[in-house]
């Protein structure tokens, strides 16, 4: 009320789209600060009183600029990509299984998490901050526990391990009638069976929507397990028989 916040949009846009400003390293707080420095009319008190509104406006402008910059990245990624690489290299490569999950967030949501999203990613990428990320992680420090892709491949000096070939999970089993019918193979190792089974499950949407760990057996599945529904773990269990 004491200030026409919307009129700040051009200034905010200028700040956010400045060549030397990274959307990942900028924060709403910084923008506010810069606004105050450049605009004498914006005293700390004024900002304080309109903080919420200003933040909202910043978030809106951020969205637009961010989108524009994404397009730029598609065409020319040298800048951003380079920087990004640098960060990743300098920091540590946290194994991320999932990439981006969704860029389309509701506007309301986006506005709400503007600050967190921007700065969260920014600081993380920028490194510094925690520096010893792993150490601090503490209990969760152990990254890939099992899926560590240690495909031992190669040599293994002579008669060391054939665990790959005849190993515990490498053993192939003769599939039961309904199972071989369903999977169209006669023998297979258990992990492979599970894999194919899930393929079938997902293909036919046999998961219980409420509890997706629960499999609702269809005719062919019922022929195998003899039940209407089965826990995905139990499924694996029965499979061993």
> How far is it, in rounded angstroms, from Cα 19 to Cα 220?
61
Interior/surface letters 28-61, b for 16+ CB within 10 angstroms, e for the rest: bebbbebbeeeeeebeeebbeebeeebbbbbbbb
Q: Is 188 left (phi over 0), alpha (psi -120 to 50) or beta?
A: beta
- CB-nearer residue toward DNA: 90 or 94: 94
Nearest distance from residue 85's CB to DNA, in Å? Answer: 16
Q: Output the CA–CA distances (angstroms, integers) from residue 53 to 42, 62, 75, 84, 144, in the order listed.
A: 14, 14, 34, 31, 43
Return the range that interacts with DNA (CB under 7 A); candidates 36-44, 61-69, 81-89, 207-215.
207-215
CB 92 within 8 A of CB 124: no
Each residue 139-158 as x (binds DNA by CB under 7 A) or -, in order, gives xxxxxxxxxxxxx-------
Greatest extent of the chain over all pairs of C-alpha atoms, in Å: 82
- CB-nearer residue toward DNA: 192 or 220: 192
CB 200 within 8 A of CB 222: no
Return the range that interacts with DNA (CB under 7 A); candidates 13-21, 59-67, 82-90, 194-202.
194-202
CB 186 within 8 A of CB 174: yes
**Could you say whether residue 49 binds DNA (CB under 7 A)?**
no
- CB-nearer residue toward DNA: 76 or 86: 86
- Which of residues 95, 107, 176, 204 is near DNA by CB under 7 A? 95
- Which of residues 72, 94, 176, 187 is near DNA by CB under 7 A? 94
**Could you say whether residue 112 binds DNA (CB under 7 A)?**
yes
> How far is it, in rounded angstroms, from Cα 216 to Cα 187?
24
Return the range that interacts with DNA (CB under 7 A); candidates 7-15, 73-81, 135-143, 179-187.
135-143
Q: Which residues contact 229 (CB under 8 A, 6 or more apart)?
A: 208, 214, 215, 216, 217
- Which of residues 27, 66, 180, 220 is near DNA by CB under 7 A? 27
Positions touching DNA (CB under 7 A) are: 27-29, 51-52, 55, 94-98, 101, 109, 112-113, 115-117, 119-120, 122-124, 129-130, 133, 136-151, 161-163, 166-169, 171, 190-192, 194-195, 198, 202, 207, 211-213, 232-234, 236-237, 239-241
């Amino acid at each position: 009320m004491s200030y026409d916040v919307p009129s700040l949009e051009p200034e905010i846009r200028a700040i956010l789209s400045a060549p030397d400003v990274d959307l990942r390293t900028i924060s709403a707080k910084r923008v506010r600060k810069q606004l105050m420095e450049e605009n004498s009319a914006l005293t700390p008190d004024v900002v304080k009183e309109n903080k919420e509104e200003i933040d909202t406006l910043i978030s809106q402008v951020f969205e637009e600029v961010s989108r524009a910059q994404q397009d730029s990245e598609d065409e020319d990624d040298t800048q951003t990509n380079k920087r990004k690489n640098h960060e990743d290299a300098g920091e540590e490569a946290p194994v991320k299984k999932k990439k981006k999950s969704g860029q389309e967030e509701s506007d309301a949501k986006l506005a709400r998490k503007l600050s967190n999203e921007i700065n969260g990613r920014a600081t993380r990428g920028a490194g510094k901050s925690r520096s010893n990320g792993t150490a601090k992680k503490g209990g969760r420090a152990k990254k890939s526990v099992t899926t560590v892709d240690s495909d031992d491949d190669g040599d293994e000096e002579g008669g060391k391990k054939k665990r790959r070939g005849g190993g515990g999970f490498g053993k192939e089993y003769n599939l039961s009638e309904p199972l071989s019918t369903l999977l169209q193979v006669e023998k297979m190792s258990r992990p492979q069976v599970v894999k194919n089974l899930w393929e079938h499950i997902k293909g036919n949407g046999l998961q219980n929507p409420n509890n997706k760990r629960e499999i609702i057996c269809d005719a062919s599945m019922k022929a195998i397990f003899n039940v209407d529904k089965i826990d995905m773990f139990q499924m694996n269990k029965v499979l061993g028989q």
